[in-house]
Amino acid sequence: MSLDTNSKANTGSGWGETAKIIVQALAIAMVVRVFFYQPFNIPSGSMKSTLLIGDYLFVSKLAYGYSRFSFPFSPNIFSGRVLASEPKRGDVAVFRLPQDQSVDYIKRVVGLPGDEVQMRDGTLYINGTAVPKVFQDEFANVECDPYFRHCRRVVYKRYEETLPDGGPTYSVLDLESDGEFDNTEVFKVPAGHYFMMGDNRDNSSDSRASVGYVPFENFVGRAEIIFFSAAIDEPDAMRWTSPWTWPFDIRWSRFFNLVR
């Protein structure tokens, strides 16, 4: 009898330890998610070819400090930012849309407070100086509507841009030689705001149009690293009903790529 009792006690103790470990792991994961790194996925092609539909990435909340948008449900308990560090030109950042603060957007920081930003004939100008733009290659992509009812092969021209003042070098896409946003007015970025643009220049809703200038308070964090990627925007790709196809739909080469 004593042996059975000990066995039951050990079993109960084992389950208790397992539950304790699970609770501790969940608590640690919650703390990391709330205060340090938050996962996001890419649902649109506005940042191609830097970020693709189906990329999953970690966003650093430490990068810019904390505002109310850094926390779940955006509690209105304080204004401004705590432990603030300003975004740098060229950062790929997640922010809350000024017109609808429940929606997250991800774009590249192009204009800093006080900058003058303009597009002329498809070339980006910052403070009156053209940003160097060098042709790289052609970027071919199969693009589908949300329900995969129609797909088409699209070929972009891919260029390499280098931002001023020691800014990064990255790729941008150009689909039309005279696109809707290839020629714009001069945008004067107000104090405390930033000018955001997508790398897919002819297919991005950004500060050139409806997004406008983004307040510093609206920034959630800086995109750091891609931890998973699946080709969900291509025909017959990543069907949840066909798990045997998943290894072929996963973009293994994008795992752990830094976002630049």
Tens of pLDDT, residues 170-224:
999 999 888 889 999 999 999 999 999 999 999 999 999 999 999 999 999 999 9
What local confidence, expressed as pLDDT, does residue 4 receive? 56
Q: Higher-confidence residue: 106 or 35? A: 106
**In the numeric block, which tokens belong to residue 161?**
């841009």
Closest CA to 163 of 133, 187, 193, 188: 133
Q: What is the dihedral of CA 32, 37, 38, 40, to 10 degrees?
A: -150
pLDDT, one tens digit per residue, over 137-182 is 999 987 776 555 677 889 999 999 999 999 999 999 999 888 889 9
CB 186 within 8 A of CB 110: no
What local confidence, expressed as pLDDT, does residue 183 receive? 96
Q: Name the β-bridge partners of 197.
A: 108
Q: Among residues 61, 67, 70, 107, which one is catalytic?
A: 107
Q: Name the β-bridge partners of 155.
A: 140
Give the pLDDT band of residue 1 (cuts 50, 70, 90).
very low
Read off the pTM: 0.84
Q: What percent of the chain has pLDDT over 90?
A: 64
Closest CA to 229 of 257, 258, 252: 252
107 catalytic residue (yes or no): yes
Q: Among residues 46, 67, 70, 207, which one is catalytic?
A: 46
pLDDT, one tens digit per residue, over 72-95 is 888 888 888 999 999 999 999 999
Between CA 203 and CA 116 the distance in angstroms is 22
